[in-house]
Structure 1
Amino acid sequence: MTILVIGSVNADLTVQAARIPAPGETVLGGDARVSAGGKGANQAVAAALAGAHVSLCGAVGGDSDPFRLPALAGLTRACVDLSGLHTLDAPTGLALITVAADGENAITVASGANARFGPEHLPTDWGGFTHVLLQQELAPAVTLEAARRAHAAGLTVLLNAAPARTADPDLLAHTHHLIVNEHELAALVGRTVEDETLELAAHSLLGLGPKTVTVTLGAQGSLTVTPDQTYRIAAHSVQVVDTTGAGDTFCGVLAARLSSGDPLPQALHWAGVAAGLACTRPGAQDSMPGWAEVVAAERMR
């Protein structure tokens, strides 16, 4: 089974610091590190490392762009098919990431070529793919058109509604599996969501189109609702170093395991184990575990 990921490709410029700066504050950090990132690229790498055949459709700057090769390095190592990658007359996307001592992070994104990626850059042939994985770092019109075309072609559409935006009913109507964190869930339902209302809020989104809604809850694991079932999956317990890659790891591995035929609860479990392992190392793609490591971690529990 083959997954098509349509999304952003960035280089990540990361600095470790004692804390995330407050507005107007300067905080001295450690050495800067350049690595591969972008939610689309991250999720493509995570899915490929979990054993899926993955193709990426996205955009980067030209050969003279200093961040082009760093942005593509992880995709190349993971053997992601880049035949759908577009070179545009714009800088490669760049994410500026501050990682605090407690593992939390703050991210500012300069979208660059990702912002120039339009519906005209989407694939014309959707044959050979069984699943499409989308996020919200490309223009809303692009994400919506991708969901429409994939849905019409009979693909299973997974949408990670990140970064958070207000709900687009048309997009949700063409989504099979919606994946959000608590902040993104609150943006979609238009209100603050407390722990005791998480399940109700997730259920309310089922009426807008998705057949499945998964809410990632960090150290509390994940909550998934369908019209007939609710699944609460415990987190894989780890010593947290950096949470930057956890969410994208979860999404990519979930898509990979679903595409391989795993039942939903099992796919959610494997996604949680992989996301936990990603928290034990710094970076986004650099933190993502291979499938053998995920299986070994499960055996040691």
Structure 2
Amino acid sequence: MSPETGPEIVVIGSVNLDLVVTVPALPQPGETVLATSYDEFVGGKGSNQAIAAARLGRDVAFVGRIGDDAAGTAVRAALADEGVDVARLSPTPGEKTGRAFVQVDERAENSIIVASGANSRLSADDVDGAAPCVRDAAVVVAQLEVPLDAVRAAARLAHGTFVFNPAPARRLDPELLGLVDVLVVNQGEFEVVTGEPAAEDAASMRVAVARTDLPGSVVVTLGARGALVWHDGELHSVPAPVVEAVDTTGAGDTFVGALADALARGEALLDAARWAVCAASLSTLSLGATTAMPRSAQVAELRALSAS
């Protein structure tokens, strides 16, 4: 990253240590199952999205909080190794770094429990302290694994495209949603955030999105089925290529990071979504949220094959 130009993308968000077990099937309440494997990875929605964008070639800066523990040192080093600027990833005395406990079954379905730790201490003051790079970034990305006040500060400071992935989902006020340029949600999140029920078919979804009266664009991710893009009063379907998924844990975050990458390069939203579904598909090919996050050449190859 050039000090004269600053980062292309700033991500405000969470960083965790992910503890991942694979199981034959996700356990039912009261059931004990034996894992077939166990591993640890860097995770957190913010960290995942930052790594996804950095692997695709963008200059990315991260604003967040870690604990004053060994996990914090490890995740900070892992982000730096990916080329992410961690100057604004602050240690938090007396707090533990966030953890995510991830179960993945043989069908690549997962369940996740998050202990926020230091992520819950990220404040509007932290974001305001990063104001110069937030203002100058082509794209600013935020999620909801950090306090809402930090997200609001980012939205107000952003002069570029503000991409908001409100997960874990909650109902949001019109003032914040009015600052969002691109809202990225899955179907369940769409219903929680907007109060409008998500629909399975494109025609009904067009009505649902139009009824929200959101000023920005909306991207609804559909997993293996791709995404729907609402932009300038039109709804477009973006199918995903077919792959043999191993672990879908980081697919949504890869989508957001790749979308930010394409938007920072000046791609139109619909083309950015096509790029993002290919990146997300590739990210499911290995265990762990970030392990299979692709490089630009890989996404370009899959996109070309999908278009042929």
Q: TM-score, normalized by length of structure 2?
A: 0.91
Measure, in 1, the Cα distance between the counterparts of 2:295 and 2:90: 27
Who is 2:241 aligned against?
A: 236
Instruction: Answer whether contact 1:180 1:216 (CA < 8 A) is retained.
Output: yes
In the alignment, which residue of structure 1 is the partner of 2:186?
181
Distance (Å, rounded) in 2 between the aligned partners of 1:25 and 1:200: 42
Whether the 8 Å contact between 1:36 and 1:73 is mirrored in structure 2 is no
Distance of 1:18 and 1:179 partners within structure 2: 31
* Secondary structure in structure 1 of the residue aligned to 2:245: coil
- Cα distance in 2, alignment partners of residues 38 and 296 from structure 1: 28
**Aligned AA (2:35):** G
Which residue of 251, 262, 270 maps to 1:246? 251
Q: 1:139 aligns with which of 133, 140, 147?
A: 147
Partner of 2:34: 28
Percent identity, please.
38
Distance verdict in 2 for CA 1:114–1:233, change over 3 Å:
same
Which residue of structure 1 lines up, in the alignment, with residue 4 of structure 2? none
SS at match of 2:120: helix
Indicate the residue corresponding to 1:7 in structure 2. Answer: 13
Deviation string 1:233-290 (CA, Å, 9 cap, x unpaired) is: 1112100111001000000000110110112222111101000001111111112111
Code of the aligned partner of 2:13: G
The amino acid that maps onto 1:85 is L
Residue 118 (structure 1) shift:
1.1
1:118 is matched with 123
Per-residue Cα deviation, 1:72-94 (whole angstroms, up to 9, x for no partner): 34422220111111111210000
Whether 2:297 is the aligned partner of 1:289: answer no
Whole-angstrom CA distance in 1 between matches of 2:243 and 2:138: 33
Q: Secondary structure at the match of 2:70?
A: coil
* Aligned partner of 1:220 among 221, 225, 230: 225
Q: Contact 1:219/1:237 (CA < 8 Å) preserved in 2?
A: yes
Distance 2:131 2:298 in 1: 36
Q: Which residue, out of 70, 82, 87, partners 2:91?
A: 87
Q: What secondary structure sits across from 1:251 in the alignment?
A: helix
Q: Distance in 2 between matches of 1:148 and 1:36?
A: 29
In structure 2, the CA distance between the partners of 1:110 and 1:272, relative to structure 1 (3 Å rule), is: same
* Cα pair 1:156 1:176 within 8 Å, conserved: yes
Residue in 2 that maps onto 1:268: 273
SS of the counterpart of 1:67? helix
Equivalent position of 1:130 in the other structure: 138
Q: Equivalent residue of 1:193, what SS?
A: coil
Other-structure match for 2:114 = 109
Which residue identity does 1:157 align to in structure 2? F
Residues 1:74 and 1:290: Cα distance change in structure 2 (over 3 Å): farther
Cα distance in 1 between the residues matched to 2:233 and 2:281 = 28
**Greater Cα offset, 155-164 or 101-110:** 155-164
Residue number in structure 1 paired with 2:210: 203
Structure 1: 5+ residue stretches without partners:
none
Q: How big is the shift at 1:102?
A: 0.4
1:198: Cα distance to partner?
2.2
1:300 & 1:69 partners in 2: Cα distance?
40
Counterparts of 1:69 and 1:84, CA distance in 2:
14
Name the amino acid aligned to 1:77: D
